[in-house]
Structure 1
Amino acid sequence: LSVLSVGYHKILDIPSGAQRIKIQETQKTRNYLALRTATGDSVINGDWVIDRPGQFYAVGTQLTYKRPNEIRSRAGESITAPGPTNQELHLFVIYQQPNPAVYYEYILPIDPITDNHSDAYSYSSVLPLVESHGIFPNPGNSDSENSLSSSHPNQVPLDPITPEPVPLYSWLAITTTPCSATCGTGII
């Protein structure tokens, strides 16, 4: 058996430009999810300080951190964000007990949107997306029957996740021209 030491363990790099980010513990544990920027700045649950659930603004997007009621809920923690992120994020688990199973997903544009106006009308810079998702397995337990036993009191069913709709078009103002008429009751 592989046993992790108590502390922060990096489990995922979320690239810059990621959208529709969803991170979820698959079951309630005493572990915590944590996020840091690529420069090492704490976003959620950093420096051994556990944040209250709520809204956080970092890396160009709003992140929602949820930690269900400690007593009444069987659901694990979650972090969601609409994105896009403007820099890489690092996901950590603050390991305190075995079975830190974490589900994650996000999407990325195939061609990142740029500030260059010459390709502003290129659909390839907005529409084609790739999706990344997966489950971070329990590193110390290869017995899947034991880790996914339906008799476990904290077991949370893995429901399919319905992604939010993505807009078909994105508008970008390139230039402006002077008005051809005065405003209000002006003459053309």
Structure 2
Amino acid sequence: MKVPSSRRVRALLAIGPLVGLSWLGAYAAFTDSVDVTTSFSTGSVTIRANDQTGTVAFTSLSMTNMIPGTVRFAPLRISNAGTLNFNYTMSTAVTGSAPLASALVIGIRGVPSSTCDATTYTASSDTAYASAAGLGSAAIAARPLAASASEFLCFRVELPSGASNTLQGLTTSATFTFNATT
């Protein structure tokens, strides 16, 4: 017997969803998911001199009424108050009498504590800077400093005993600029 095509179509349409649902049921599975989150933050670079930021008065190195042969030692504590390790450098700018600045001899050494005198300076083999080229040439190449660490630098400034008589009554000032970079 011949079934009209519209009956066939209706029969297929009626059975189709049942077959489809049974097929989906055969492939059902347990499921689960997990979310993974994270955050990002930057570290900080904070350099300090004698536990201060900004402009720091280095009065322990200042000298007045110098005479030839005068030597001054002064410690300076450089600290990394940031969260990142960094390298720091130092440069010098002088104002005032150029002849006096050129005559002054400066040396800088790393020392183990705030004790900075002729004995600790001479005993240190950690020379950060040494030159007879004058105050204005003082510079420190990159020195590493870990986060939350500090170190002491011992500055030695001398007006040599053979200084010219023309240096009388002159004044010069120095600004030591410390820069830290990661």
TM-score normalized with structure 2 length? 0.35
TM-score normalized with structure 1 length? 0.34
Bigger Rg over Cα: 2
Comparing both structures, which one devotes a greater share of its residues to helix?
A: 2
